[in-house]
Chain A
Amino acid sequence: MADYKPNHLNEKLKEREQEELKNKDLNSSENKPLALDDSQRVKVLSPARLVTKRFLKNKLAITGLAILIVMFTMCFLGAALYPYGQTDKFYKIAPLELDYAVCGELSSYTKYFVNEADMNDPVLDDLKLKFDSYIIQMESSNETELSVLQGDIEFIIEKVVDRVYVGYIAAQMEDFGTFDPILGEITAGETVEGLAEVLSSAVKEKKESVEFDGDIYFIKQVSKTKVSLSRLTAIDGEKKTIIATKLVFDAVNHKEQIDNKFKIAVLQNIADQTKPFTYGDKSYSFDQEDSDNLIIKDESGDPYVYISRYSTRHASGEDSLDLTFKMKAASIVDQLEAENAATYSFEYEVPQINPDTEQYDLDENGNIILTKETVNVVRKETAGERSFYFKYNMNRKLITIYEKPSAAHILGTDGDGYDVFARILFGGRVSLLVGFVVVILETILGVIMGGIAGFFGGWVDTLIMRLVDIFYCIPTMPIMIILASVFDAYKVDPYQRLFWMMVLLGVLGWSGIARLVRGQILSLREQEFMIAAEATGLRTSKRIFKHLVPNVMPQLIVSMTMGLGGVILTESSLSFLGLGVKHPLATWGNMINSVSTIEAMKSYTYIWVPVGILICLTVIAFNFVGDGLRDAFDPKMKR
């Protein structure tokens, strides 16, 4: 027994074969008759070689293996070598028509207090708030002056010129006293000569007010013998005044701020444009350019401020445009308003934004470089307000979404500007990784549980098998969906989700393997080699894991290979439903999900079809290999 070797015959045959090969050259011409045990007739292979040989004969299995090798190289090596990552966004610089400037009349009047001290006067503040509505009232009735009595105060609002209004406190009402119409007596704090006669006639004529000596007296009948009087006294001297305007002041040097006091001075003198006025210690004069645009020149006759009815601002809201553009814009808007046209386009020198720095291009002197572009004007009306937008093509950095396949991007880019091929490679990595981790987890759990159940039998077996039954009847997909929606609600990190998904799939999936292992072990347990192992006094764990489990390996390997495909399918289905691996991590499932709307499905077949085919190919390959392995391990199937 000492020199017993299991493949004794095989070794002998091999030796003989070697010898014959050596002697072949010597007597190759001889044609010896074949003996029964001749190595040319009988070839004994080791079990592994036998399985390999059978496996290699299976064309489908080889195809599957080839696909898997390609897939693995692609996903693991290819992903490392491919220049782009899964979350590399791609940009392109392309012209995009953007708003440059907005031009239009102001929607509300700008109000200035003539005296700064009036700023805190509550009465005047009240007027300021209501100014716009008074102006609207005047405009609608075409009045040039409006007197409003509000409480005890009379306001007067006057139109100076178009778009300039002045409002001030004109008079104040006070209680004057009482008057007895029968006796003709006035009871008041002061005596006004001749008022009594005027009042008597007014009461007889049932007038509500009467004017006397520049004041207005209001009459209110209390009883037959008593009339209460109140007097509206005009305010003398400097009145508290607000000037409101819709005119826009633009300094010739557009960086210069125009002082509010200067504006007030201009507006106060705007009624008479022939007269020069002084502000500070300088004098200025008006000059009419056309019907709407005024120019204010300083002493030397140079234009200092342009006044226009249009406000032209940069699209960002800043007042940073230079005057030439503003005047050009105002003239265009005038023309459009006159023609009642909505669009216009013209050539103009405009600045370009550098797409990388997002700043204007500057030349060496620090001036903005201007290029000639076609500027389009578009009218937009919102809530009764009319503004004109000036737009032209600006070069901007854009995310390249849904780009068709090209040399730079083999399969184009997706809706986030990611390279589709890079995402396929990385997605495959995740899918394969999930597959392997889950199957290995399942197998470890299954082998331990099944091994224990099969080996010990009895109540341990019953207990474990009932546990298997319980896990078998828990539906995997619904459980995964519920947990995924909980993860969604808590916005769990994508990597953590991935981890939990693998753990859960493993825990929910071990029952099949446990059943298989137990069944195998039950039959193997009764075989002679196990009795021998027991007789040699081996430890239980060694007997299970060294002697029994290796014998279960063939079935285990087959079921693992097939299981891999299944897990990849489950993972991709979950990801497709948006419940598995989440953005920005790529998997094949969520790549298809990202283009699952009808429109995207139709237009972007080059994104989802290759991905779907890859899922399918990988799963098929695993199944082919599993099938091939099963056939190879199980020669019974051969006819």
Chain B
Amino acid sequence: MFKFIVKRLLLSVVIFFFAMFLIYTLIYCLPTSYVESTARELASASSKMGGKTYHEWLEQLNEEYGMNKGLVGGYFSWLGNAVQGKFGDSWKWNMPCTEKFSKVIWNSFFLGLVAFIIETLIAIPLGVLAARKQYSITDYTVTCVSLIGISLPTFFVATILKLVFAVRLQWFDISGMHSRDYIAENATAWTSFLDVAKHFVLPALTLIFVGIGGLMRYTRTNMLEVLNADYIRTARAKGLPESKVIGYHAFRNTLIPIVTILGGSLPGLFSGALITETLFALDGIGYASYYSMTGGDIPFTMFYLSLMSILTLLGNLISDILYAVVDPRVRVN
């Protein structure tokens, strides 16, 4: 088992190396004039606030990102810095990338976590139910709802929710992290928490709406497969009550792939929700990176892309390991 993990980890490192090389190549190939004009705009914007000059930004970029050392040499010098956690200063946010990350990551994480927990709690029971009564009205409803969830574009769900709850009913604010009358000095930890929590409701709903379908469908498909298995027939044949057949024999086996996929999606909580956060102007990692990417902030973009790659690889790794751990039938070698 230990050898398996080490092997997978090493493989992931290799994949990360090449994936980042591809991404670095892409960034490296961005037209120089684009990079320069962005840097110039940035310098003129930040000069009022005592920021860096255009040359300082470009020099820093060249230094941290090895843009002047050729593709391969530059990549290694960037990688060397990145491994030490030196991602340079973000152009857009005017602070080190890692500092911006640590500032906003928990907003993203908690938003993702809340949505994830609620999603799991709703999707799994409904998926099991649908599979138990295949081709019944319940099944069709669950299938329909989950397919609609998968098919709805995030921005459409967000816009509808905004229209209904923020514009018509006025229960929530349209976007942002705090209410208009929120004053940081007067707020206690508790009122501040409540205020932020209130602004998380619509984004969380959006995420749940969009994400719930996939999990529901996955549960249903797996449950159906399990219910067709021989050991379920055996369990029924030996006269076990249906509740025990489903709840004990079938459900536990259905859990194997589900736990694997859920475990694999845990690192994704740190990658933020790009579109949802942007639409609701929640100061999370998705929002920060969206504006970095559209604003040509190369350091933060590289940081975000590396983060995304690491999280994807980590997710795969976790689900592989979990699969081996949860299912004793899987031989690790």
Interface residues in chain A, defined as those with a beta carbon under 8 Å from any beta carbon in chain B: 59-60, 466, 469-475, 477-479, 481-482, 484-486, 488-490, 565, 569, 572-573, 576-577, 579, 589, 592, 596, 598, 601-602, 605, 608-609, 612, 615-616, 619-620, 622-624, 627, 636-637, 639
Check A489–B274 contact: CB distance below 8 A.
Answer: no
Residue from the list B140, B144, B154, B162 in contact with A573, Cβ < 8 A: B154
Measured between beta carbons, the chain A residues less than 8 angstroms from B93 are none
Report which residue of B22, B147, B289 has the largest number of chain A beta carbons within 10 angstroms of its beta carbon.
B147
Check A489–B22 contact: CB distance below 8 A.
Answer: no
Shortest B97–chain A CB gap in Å is 14
A sample of 11 cross-chain residue pairs with beta-carbon separation below 8 angstroms, ordered by A number, consists of A60-B140, A473-B15, A478-B274, A489-B37, A598-B174, A609-B160, A616-B153, A619-B151, A623-B150, A627-B147, A636-B225
Residue of A nearest to B301 (CB): A482
Assembly CA distance A470 to B143 (angstroms): 33
Assembly CA distance A489 to B162 (angstroms): 31
Residue of A nearest to B274 (CB): A477
B122 at the A interface (CB under 8 A): no
Check A486–B305 contact: CB distance below 8 A.
Answer: no
Assembly CA distance A474 to B67 (angstroms): 21
Interface residues in chain B, defined as those with a beta carbon under 8 Å from any beta carbon in chain A: 11, 14-16, 18-19, 22-23, 26-27, 30-31, 34, 37-38, 134, 140, 143-144, 147-148, 150-156, 159-160, 162-163, 167, 174, 224-225, 227-228, 274-275, 278, 289-290, 293-296, 301, 304-305, 308-309, 312-313, 316
Measured between beta carbons, the chain B residues less than 8 angstroms from A485 are 293-296
Contacts A616-B148, A624-B147 given; indicate if A478 touches B163 (C-beta within 8 A): no
Report which residue of A60, A478, A576, A616 has the largest number of chain B beta carbons within 10 angstroms of its beta carbon.
A478
Residue of A nearest to B298 (CB): A482
Shortest A558–chain B CB gap in Å is 12
Measured between beta carbons, the chain A residues less than 8 angstroms from B155 are 572-573, 576-577, 589, 592
Measured between beta carbons, the chain B residues less than 8 angstroms from A592 are 155-156, 159
Check B159–A486 contact: CB distance below 8 A.
Answer: no
Contacts A475-B308, A485-B296 given; indicate if A577 touches B275 (C-beta within 8 A): yes
Shortest B320–chain A CB gap in Å is 12
Check B147–A490 contact: CB distance below 8 A.
Answer: no
Measured between beta carbons, the chain A residues less than 8 angstroms from B16 are 473
Check A573–B153 contact: CB distance below 8 A.
Answer: yes
Assembly CA distance A482 to B289 (angstroms): 10
Check B156–A616 contact: CB distance below 8 A.
Answer: yes
Residue from the list B151, B156, B227, B308 in contact with A623, Cβ < 8 A: B151
Measured between beta carbons, the chain B residues less than 8 angstroms from A627 are 143, 147
Measured between beta carbons, the chain A residues less than 8 angstroms from B147 are 60, 620, 623-624, 627
Residue from the list A598, A601, A608, A636 in contact with B228, Cβ < 8 A: A636
Assembly CA distance A624 to B27 (angstroms): 39
Measured between beta carbons, the chain B residues less than 8 angstroms from A596 are 159
Assembly CA distance A609 to B38 (angstroms): 37
Check B275–A601 contact: CB distance below 8 A.
Answer: no
Check A478–B151 contact: CB distance below 8 A.
Answer: no
Contacts A470-B22, A478-B274 given; indicate if A576 touches B153 (C-beta within 8 A): yes
Residue of A nearest to B134 (CB): A639
Check A602–B167 contact: CB distance below 8 A.
Answer: yes
Check A605–B163 contact: CB distance below 8 A.
Answer: yes
Check A602–B275 contact: CB distance below 8 A.
Answer: no
Assembly CA distance A486 to B36 (angstroms): 12
Assembly CA distance A440 to B1 (angstroms): 40
Check A466–B163 contact: CB distance below 8 A.
Answer: no
Measured between beta carbons, the chain A residues less than 8 angstroms from B144 are 60
Measured between beta carbons, the chain B residues less than 8 angstroms from A60 are 140, 143-144, 147
Shortest A132–chain B CB gap in Å is 40
Assembly CA distance A620 to B151 (angstroms): 5
Assembly CA distance A471 to B290 (angstroms): 21
Report which residue of A475, A598, A637 has the largest number of chain B beta carbons within 10 angstroms of its beta carbon.
A475
Assembly CA distance A68 to B160 (angstroms): 24
Assembly CA distance A592 to B163 (angstroms): 13
Measured between beta carbons, the chain A residues less than 8 angstroms from B293 are 478, 481-482, 485
Residue of A nearest to B166 (CB): A598
Residue of A nearest to B144 (CB): A60
Q: Which 3 A-B pairs have the closest CB atoms?
A: A619-B151, A612-B156, A620-B151
Assembly CA distance A614 to B289 (angstroms): 30
Report which residue of B23, B150, B156 has the largest number of chain A beta carbons within 10 angstroms of its beta carbon.
B156
Check B294–A602 contact: CB distance below 8 A.
Answer: no
Check B31–A478 contact: CB distance below 8 A.
Answer: no
Given contacts A486-B34, A573-B153, A601-B162, 19 further A-B contacts (CB under 8 A): A466-B15, A469-B15, A471-B19, A473-B15, A473-B16, A473-B313, A474-B22, A479-B305, A482-B27, A484-B294, A489-B37, A577-B155, A596-B159, A598-B174, A602-B163, A612-B156, A612-B160, A623-B147, A637-B224
Measured between beta carbons, the chain A residues less than 8 angstroms from B134 are 639
Residue from the list A471, A482, A573, A624 in contact with B275, Cβ < 8 A: A573
Check B163–A601 contact: CB distance below 8 A.
Answer: yes
Assembly CA distance A589 to B159 (angstroms): 12
Contacts A474-B309, A478-B301, A639-B134 given; indicate if A601 touches B167 (C-beta within 8 A): yes
Residue from the list B38, B156, B312 in contact with A615, Cβ < 8 A: B156
Check B228–A639 contact: CB distance below 8 A.
Answer: yes
Contacts A475-B312, A616-B152 given; indicate if A486 touches B294 (C-beta within 8 A): no
Residue of B nearest to A469 (CB): B15
Measured between beta carbons, the chain B residues less than 8 angstroms from A477 are 274-275
Contacts A485-B296, A576-B155, A605-B163 given; indicate if A473 touches B309 (C-beta within 8 A): yes
Residue of A nearest to B307 (CB): A475
Assembly CA distance A605 to B167 (angstroms): 12
Residue of B nearest to A571 (CB): B153
Shortest B12–chain A CB gap in Å is 9
Measured between beta carbons, the chain A residues less than 8 angstroms from B152 are 616, 619
Measured between beta carbons, the chain A residues less than 8 angstroms from B143 are 60, 627
Measured between beta carbons, the chain B residues less than 8 angstroms from A484 are 294
Contacts A473-B312, A485-B293, A486-B30 given; indicate if A612 touches B151 (C-beta within 8 A): no
Shortest B172–chain A CB gap in Å is 13
Measured between beta carbons, the chain B residues less than 8 angstroms from A601 are 159, 162-163, 167
Measured between beta carbons, the chain A residues less than 8 angstroms from B15 are 466, 469-470, 473
